[in-house]
Structure 1
Amino acid sequence: MRFAAAVLRAVLWLATTVALAVAIPAAWLQCNVVSEGGYAALAQRAAADPALQSAAADELTNRAAALVAARNGGRQPVDSAELHGAAAAFTAGPAFPASFAEANRAAHRWLFTGDAAGGSWAVDVAPMLREASMQPILRSHNVKVPPALTVPLTASAPKTLRPGRLSPL
């Protein structure tokens, strides 16, 4: 009888350990990846990473330069160093984390809802280009940021990565 009780305790201990090993990562995923608010908060914390800030500044510089070129037909060159400086100031500043979180909130919605506009996984960077640090240089070139300026997140999304493909637990 004692042997059976010891085996039962060992089996229950093992089952509890396995359940915890599964439950803790699942709870983290639910709070930080599946939950839109958790995902946005995770993105907001990630926005403090200098490498991410640099990459975002590069992308904003490219998008702003394209807007300037489209506006003036390439007749009036834009100082890309000045544009990059403004973009870098924005991404290193206090407004970037919230803007980055909002962009990621939209990307999260694309994955978890079937009513996404367009077929590509993209984020809208127009709100970032409307930030105060970017406006003086864009205004000097008579550029008005369009209502939406989407940037694809992947060149070609795998077939499993489609709007509404994922669902909350």
Structure 2
Amino acid sequence: MDHNDLLERFQAFEAEDEENGEDRWFVDVKGEVKKPGLYEVDKDARVKHVIDLAGGFTDEAASEHVNLAQKVSDEMVIYVPKNGEEDGFLNEMPTATNGQSMQKINVNKASAEELTQLNGIGPAKAEAIISYREEHGPFKSVEELLQVNGIGEKTLENIRDDITIQ
């Protein structure tokens, strides 16, 4: 499956999502599975369910590196390593076993609690972001956060890699 196929598949999911108004999560499965790609799952899905959707592990999969019980999150990447891959490589790759979410925080949907997980964002700044969002509508760009009282260039640079605008 090439990049254009994945893009078309994702756009079809997005169009269907808009029509149905339902919340869906998308998980990208890579590595040693029979059908790598982008999968649409329910919010309560586990890694095992997504691996099953991807046709299961290949014979070369180092499945012991994958936590099948972990709950998935939107925009998550599940990487199934190959048997014998060097440990250094595994430590650099995102896998479903690291216990850390690969998910960026969507500032257009995040709660105050979620926003305070960002470096440099406390309860007051989180509430300021939510107030701005409620008054002006969804953020159209990351840079628009500079319009929020208390968010300056330094704060924005600290959180830029951890946020998304969707």
Same fold flag (TM > 0.5): no
Name the structure with the higher strand share.
2
Higher relative contact order (CA closer than 8 Å, sequence separation 6+) = 1
The TM-score with structure 1 as length reference comes to 0.27
Q: Which has the higher helix share?
A: 1
Higher Cα radius of gyration:
1
> How high is the TM-score relative to the length of structure 2?
0.28
